[in-house]
Amino acid sequence: IAISKSFKLTLFLSLQAKMSKPVQAQRLEGIDKNIWVEFVKLAATYSTVNLGQGFPDFPPPDFLKEAFVRALGGENHMLHQYTRAFGHPPLVKILAQFFGKLLGRDLDPMTDVMVTVGAYQALFCCFQAFVDEGDEVIIIEPFFDCYEPMVKMAGGTPVFVPLRPKAPKDGKLMSSADWQLDPAELASKFSKRTKAIVLNSPNNPLGKVFSRGELELIAALCVKHDILCISDEVYEWLVYDGKEHVRIASLQGMWDRTVIIGSAGKTFSATGWKVGWTVGPSRLLQHLRTVHQNSVYHCATAAQEAVAQGFQRELEHYGKPDSYFVQLAKELQQKRDWLVQSLDAVGMKPIVPEGTYFLVADISEFKSDVPDVPDSEEPYDSRFAKWMVKNKVNASGP
Ligand code: PMP
């Protein structure tokens, strides 16, 4: 290709010229760091198992994989094309049927359900749709790390309220149920500026499954102050020891103000498919649709088709021993018990999770050779985790 000299010169000059305007939008200030970028890199460098990020090391169930293969290789070539923007019709229909049954209400698949690129995009849509400059959003600590930057990116202010640990009964290991909200402290966080509260039950990272009583407390405050509830329920099927996952949207006065967020990644052990959804009243979801149609717009059709078939299968096996949702929880409960015993045996104090993939352990009394760094800005737990990654890899590791 012939390029004229003058064009070359212009290109050269424009590459040389630095922009004098700030490149970064102000709302990105202070939220450019992400702990997973750092830890995923560390885990790869030292060939350690990354237990921090929530994804399984086993395959999704055969019926789901087969459904995806059928979607890709079957006669219906339209499954390779765009589908309905707010959710592939077979998927929104089965989600409406499934969640309608769980919530005890009739759901309109076209208005009360919207499919997203994983639960992550569902969260993003909620904050963008509901939060204005100056609005406050209550976040319960400890929390899934993206809530805080997403609230800030929408112009809102996160207001934190901690789950506080209560000492376990003599000789017992602490459970995630021992971490509770102080009702007065929670109530004090609601103000005129509060727009929404983020609820994550079962909770990442503690594994806490909020009891009906705790949810009623939150619900009463939401109703009293006319607040929205963004209810992240991606671990809804990963609940152990016969505990019940209560949906806050089913409590009095809550349906109209709650968006339920779910994830096929967590539900069917297929996090790489990135299929998620929101369920809620159209008066709320209509604003999520506005954000969705002006950002992602369509989600992968074949993956949605496969997830639809997965839910169809689960609807038929609902509550039965061969339901995947029943089996998965059983399997993970055994793994949890094994990990709890192992951590306890080496002198860490595991907080026994009632649900999720996660487990938090108290290392305050664990003897280690982590170098002392007086006045370090970095918290001890972060330094400890890095020390483990670098120094306690298996024999063949670096
Ligand atoms: N919410 C919580 C609490 C999570 O732990 C995760 C994933 N780690 C997500 C949402 C995002 O789920 P998805 O992969 O479906 O985007």
- Please write the tens of the pLDDT for every residue from 232-271: 999 999 999 999 999 999 999 999 999 999 999 999 999 9
Give me ligand 1 centre to Cα 120, in Å. 6
pLDDT score for 16:
62
Domain-by-domain residue ranges, the chain?
A: 62-317
Rounded average pLDDT over 62-85: 97
Closest CA to 313 of 299, 301, 325: 325
Whether the CB-CB separation of 256 and 112 falls below 8 Å is answered with no
User: Backbone dihedral region of 2: left (phi > 0), alpha (psi from -120 to 50 degrees) or beta?
Assistant: beta
38 half-sphere exposure, CB direction, 13 A CA radius: 9
CA–CA separation, 314 vs 325, rounded Å? 8
Give me the pLDDT at residue 394, please. Answer: 62
Give me the pLDDT at residue 361, please. Answer: 96
Q: Ligand 1 mean position to 353 CA, how many Å?
A: 17
Is a pLDDT exceeding 50 seen at residue 28? yes
Q: Using a 6 Å cutoff on CB, does residue 200 contact ligand 1?
A: yes
Cα 379 to middle of ligand 1, angstroms: 25
Q: According to the model, what pLDDT value does residue 19 have?
A: 75
Name the band, by pLDDT with cuts 50, 70 and 90, for residue 5: low
Q: Is the Cβ–Cβ distance between 336 and 359 less than 8 Å?
A: yes
Tokens of 31: 């939220």
Say what the pLDDT of residue 190 is.
98
Instruction: Indicate the pLDDT class of residue 168, thresholds 50, 70 and 90.
Output: confident
DSSP characters for 272-283? GG-EEEEE--HH
Q: Give the pLDDT mean for 359-380.
A: 89
Using the mean position of ligand 1's atoms as its centre, give its distance from the Cα of residue 338 in Å: 24
Comparing CA positions, the residue from 282, 235, 277, 243 lying closest to residue 260 is: 277
Q: Which helix (H) or strand (E) holds 194?
A: strand 194-200
Q: How confident is the model at residue 169 (pLDDT cuts 50, 70, 90)?
A: confident
Closest C-alpha among 83, 377, 121 to residue 265:
121
Tens of pLDDT, residue by residue over 120-135, are 999 999 999 999 999 9
In angstroms, what CA-CA distances link 115 with 144, 278, 316, 382? 21, 6, 22, 35
Is the CB of residue 273 below 6 angstroms from any atom belonging to ligand 1? no
The per-residue pLDDT for range 53-67, each reduced to its tens digit, is: 889 999 999 999 999
Cis bond before residue 202 (omega within 30° of 0): yes
What's the pLDDT at 222?
98
CA of 275 to the centre of ligand 1 (A): 11
Q: d(Cα 386, Cα 398) in Å, to the nearest integer?
A: 14
CATH class of 62-317: alpha beta
Residues 278-308: tens digit of each pLDDT: 999 999 999 999 999 999 999 999 999 999 9
Considering only CA atoms, which of 231, 244, 9, 41 is closest in space to residue 119?
231
Q: Which residue intervals of the chain are DSSP H helices?
A: 5-16, 35-45, 62-73, 89-103, 118-130, 147-153, 183-188, 212-225, 264-267, 282-293, 301-316, 324-345, 380-391
Q: Ligand 1, from 263, 275, 360: best to mutate by most atoms within 8 Å of Cβ?
A: 263
Please tell me if the CB atom of residue 118 comes closer than 6 angstroms to any atom of ligand 1: yes
Angle at 311 (CA atoms; ends 61, 177), nearest 5 degrees? 80
pLDDT of residue 13: 57
CB 291 within 8 A of CB 125: yes
